[in-house]
Chains A and B, each alone.
Chain A
Amino acid sequence: MSLFYLVLQGLKERQFRSLLIGFFIFVLTGFLLATTVILRGVEKSLRTGMEKLGADIIVIPYDITEQAQQEVLAGKLGSTDWMPADNVRRISEMEAVEKVSPRLYLGTIKGSPYSTDNELFVIAFDPETDFTILCWLKDKLKKPLKIAEAIGGTSINKVSPSEHVSVNGYELTLVGELDPVGIWYDQTLFVTFDTARDMIAKRAIPGEVSADTITTIAVDLKPGYDVARTAMEMMLVAPGIWPVKAPKLMTILSTQRAGLIKSLFIALGIIWILAVILTGFVFSIIVNERRREIGMLRAVGASRNFIFRLFLTESAVLACSGGLAGIILSMLFLYFMRAWLMPALEIQILFPSLPGLVLFTVGCFLTALILVLPALLYPAVRASRLDPAVAMREV
């Protein structure tokens, strides 16, 4: 006979109550882990996305629709308007400009078997001037990109064992893969302008796309130049453009992120408060219903310290088992989310690496235990302070 044996027998014989408390802790831990992983994923995704955009200014056509502008700002491609490639030269000649790199949106392939996501984008870029895409290559290219060669985002070609990707019958060879970014880059094929011309010539790109036009220009300024002022001057140098300042883009993304994080933390706070109150309430009921047992144990020799340890151990066993169950279920949920929900909802969230996930899991588990500790300690202290004679008499 030991304290632990008493605890286990108590839990076994009071199954409903044990399950109820375990469930509260299970919900708390599960929610904590899932929201933390998702929150961090969203944050990392947005941060990496912003870094990836890399440029101080993104130049887009002035007259594209408002919706298309919003899509570009949100990091999604949707623009079907183009601007003359000559804009690249005009902007590059500005004194404040350090780097300029054009991109051409060629199209979206829906339901492509070569992407784990629903949509696959095809973008032409200039490897000579690029400063936002090649820097994210997993391994450096051994040779310069040739015609019919492409670089793919991390979601590309995951369903096919071959290194060839077919875009409307045009065979592209994947020669490089980007690190996970968490935005549309992951589901994009990047090709050179020469390949774009070849694809257009072979009618692999529907519509009237011209490889002599461009959709966006990434611009990096020399240090010390004012972004807002340069953007204004840019509109004079190259009429018909709309320079989007990176700080504005970052502000939009940051605002979105702050709102999301705030909502999740509010929900987390509510869940925590409810779990603590309910756990404390249920444990208080248990102490009340077991007053006679406490009195009897005290009578046969249990000290206050033993009663305290008895109730604390019981709480700890429930908290640990509930916590572990919560972690297992939230892991399953996160797996389901990554495998099914994110592609279905077209959401991009970066998940942590395995060591990171283990660290998160341990952290969430310990946090949940600390959070429910007051709810577990209070009834244990109350039980230990119960007057044994009164306890035996009142029940």
Chain B
Amino acid sequence: MIELRQVSKMYFRGKRGHQITVTAVQEIDLKIDLGEFVVITGRSGCGKTSLLNIIAGLSRPDSGQMFVDGTDIWTMKDEDISALRNQKMGFMFQVPSLIPTLNVLDNVVVPTLFAPKEKQKDAYQHAKQALEAVGLSHRMDAFPRHLSAGEEKRVVIARAIINNPPVLLADEPTANLDELTEKEVMALVQEIHRGGTTIILVTHHPSLIGYGTRHLTMSDGRFVEPHS
């Protein structure tokens, strides 16, 4: 379903003339099949988020190819890549990512704005169901500034599943959460996985490894252990 071939990504840091090149992802090969729960771990700065952004089609690799359902996505137009993200991927970001000017319900509905017309019809109904699934149906009218960190993560999960995507990408989904909330959030992720969704989760937290069906470890932009 998702395949990376010899994918590399570099960043430039510092001011012009004094820039240093940082290789975030180095010649990575990876194949992820439908229904997998892949957990990628590694220390901060090892390239986990960069790899996830490449998988998501948010960041263009400097070399290599990235296939989704057999199509090299970087040969597609921006509109088509955006549509692919909208229909095939759900996101959980490490940083707060709700739109501060929209309430919880509207935030969950946002991805349907870019979905085909037939999916937009019952958008609010689906959003309410998604919020119910994450246990936040009573907070629909609240604005992000009024939510706790755990509640915000759950809204993000509801938003990620509204279009019913086959893949969920999660970047440090339990960052800044207490142990109990972490378990609640991961239980939701597991629930989504049980529904058939492929999960790709990156974290520096070893306690999340057990949730996955496959574990990969990254260091200096490469996988350092054999795939389990």
| CA of A300 to CA of B89, assembled, Å | 8
B2 interface residue per 8 A CB criterion: no
Looking at the assembled complex, report how far the CB atom of B183 sits from the nearest CB atom of chain A, in whole angstroms: 26
Most-contacted residue by chain B among A3, A300, A303 (CB, 10 A): A300
- Counting CB contacts under 8 A, is A392 at the interface? yes
Q: Report chain A residues within 8 Å CB of B100.
A: 13, 293
Task: Give which listed residue, B78, B86, B97, B113, contacts A296 with CB less than 8 A.
Answer: B97
Expressed in whole angstroms, the minimum distance between the Cβ of B48 and any Cβ of chain A is 12
Q: Given the complex of chains A and B, what is the CA–CA distance between A389 and B112 in angstroms?
A: 21
User: Which among A13, A302, A392 has the greatest number of chain B C-beta atoms within 10 A?
Assistant: A392
Interface string of A4-36 (1 = CB under 8 A from B): 011001101110000000000000000000000
Q: What chain A residues lie within 8 Å of B21 (beta carbons)?
A: none
Given the interface pairs A300-B159, A303-B78, the reply to whether A387 lies near B59 with Cβ below 8 Å is yes
| A306 interface residue per 8 A CB criterion | yes
Bound Cα distance from A387 to B61, whole angstroms: 12
- A1 in contact with B112 (CB, 8 Å): yes
A9 and B100 CA atoms in complex are apart in Å by 10
Partner of A9, one of B78, B83, B93, B106: B106
A304 contacts B by Cβ under 8 Å: yes
Measured CB to CB, the closest approach of chain B to A380, in angstroms, equals 16
Residue among A1, A305, A390 with the highest chain B CB neighbour number at 10 A: A1
A365-390 residues with Cβ-Cβ distance < 8 A to B are: 387-390
Q: A297–B101 contact, CB under 8 A?
A: no
Q: How far is the CA of A109 from the CA of B72 in the complex (A)?
A: 91
- Which residues from B are CB-within-8-Å of A1? 106, 109-110, 112-113, 120, 123
A residues less than 8 Å from B163 (CB atoms): 301
B175 CB-CB contact with A under 8 Å: no
Cβ of A395 and Cβ of B95 under 8 Å apart?
yes
Contact A303 B79 (CB under 8 A): yes
Residues of A within 8 A of B56 (CB): 299
Q: How large is the interface on B (under 10, 10 to 19, 20 to 34, 35 or more residues)?
A: 35 or more
The 3 A-B residue pairs with the shortest CB-CB distance in the complex, in nearest-first order: A301-B86, A301-B114, A13-B101
Q: Which residue of A lies closest to B127 (CB)?
A: A1
Report Cα–Cα, A304/B77, bound state, in Å. Answer: 11
Write the nearest CB–CB distance from B102 to chain A, whole angstroms: 6
CA distance A305 to B99 in the complex (A): 19
| Residues on B facing A (Cβ under 8 Å) | 49-50, 53, 56, 58-59, 78-79, 82-83, 85-87, 91, 93, 95-102, 106, 109-115, 120, 123, 143, 159, 163
CB distance from A314 to the nearest CB of B (A): 11
* Given A301-B86, A303-B78, A389-B53, A296-B93 contact (CB < 8 Å): yes
B-chain residues with CB within 8 Å of residue A390 when the two chains form the complex? 59
Contact present for B53 and A9 (CB under 8 Å): no
Task: Say if the beta carbon of A103 comes within 8 Å of chain B.
Answer: no
Chain A residue with the shortest CB-CB distance to B101: A13
The answer to whether the Cβ of A292 comes within 8 Å of any Cβ in the partner chain is yes
| Residues of chain B lying within 8 A (CB to CB) of residue A303 | 78-79, 82-83, 114
Contact B58 A298 (CB under 8 A): yes
Bound CA span A295–B87, Å = 17
Chain A residues whose C-beta falls within 8 Å of the C-beta of B53 in the assembled complex: 389
Bound form: Cα–Cα A9–B120 in Å: 19
Contact residue among B97, B98, B99, B115 (Cβ-Cβ distance under 8 Å from A301): B115
A2 interface contact, C-beta 8 A: yes
CA distance in complex: A1, B114 (Å): 10
A292 touches B110 (CB 8 A): no
Chain A residues numbered 283-300 whose CB sits less than 8 Å from any CB in chain B: 292-293, 295-300
Assuming A302-B114, A304-B78, what are 10 further A-B pairs, CB within 8 angstroms? Answer: A1-B120, A1-B123, A2-B113, A6-B99, A13-B143, A298-B82, A301-B82, A301-B111, A392-B58, A392-B93
Query: A393: CB under 8 A from chain B?
Result: yes
Q: Give bound CA distance, A9 to B107, whole Å.
A: 11
| B89 to A, closest residue via Cβ | A299
Residues of A within 8 A of B113 (CB): 1-3, 6, 301-302
- Once the chains bind, are B91 and A388 in contact (CB under 8 Å)? no
What are 27 A-B interface contacts by the 8 Å CB criterion? A1-B110, A1-B113, A1-B120, A5-B106, A6-B99, A6-B110, A13-B143, A292-B95, A296-B97, A298-B82, A300-B85, A300-B114, A301-B83, A301-B85, A301-B86, A301-B113, A301-B114, A302-B82, A303-B83, A303-B114, A304-B82, A305-B78, A306-B82, A387-B59, A389-B53, A392-B93, A393-B49
* Chain A residues within an 8 Å CB radius of B120: 1
Question: How many Å from the CB of A279 to the closest CB on chain B?
Answer: 20
- Closest chain-A Cβ to B23's Cβ sits at a distance in Å of 16
Cβ of A232 to closest chain B Cβ, rounded Å: 75
Q: Shortest beta-carbon distance, B165 to chain A, in Å?
A: 10
CA distance A389 to B55 in the complex (A): 11
From A12, A13, A293, A300, B86 is in contact (CB under 8 Å) with: A300
Task: Name, among A13, A293, A387, A389, the residue most crowded by chain B CB atoms within 10 Å (CB to CB).
Answer: A389
Taking a contact as CB atoms closer than 8 A, the residue among A3, A292, A306, A388 that contacts B58 in the complex is: A388
A9 near B95 with CB under 8 A, answer no
How many Å lie between the Cα of A299 and that of B110 in the bound state? 11
Closest to B94 in A: A392
Task: Find out whether the CB atom of B114 lies under 8 angstroms from the CB atom of A292.
Answer: no
With both beta carbons as reference points, the residue of chain B lying nearest to A9 in the complex is identified as B101
> Which one of B91, B98, B112, B143 lies within 8 Å of A299 (CB-CB)?
B91
Residue of A nearest to B156 (CB): A296
Tell whether, in the assembled complex, residue B114 and residue A306 are in contact, meaning their CB atoms are under 8 Å apart.
yes
Q: In the bound complex, how far is the Cα of B97 from the Cα of A292, in angstroms?
A: 7
A299 to B52 Cα, complex, angstroms: 12
**Which residues of B are found within 8 Å of A392, using beta-carbon distances?**
58, 93, 95, 97
Chain B residues, Cβ within 8 Å of A12: 101
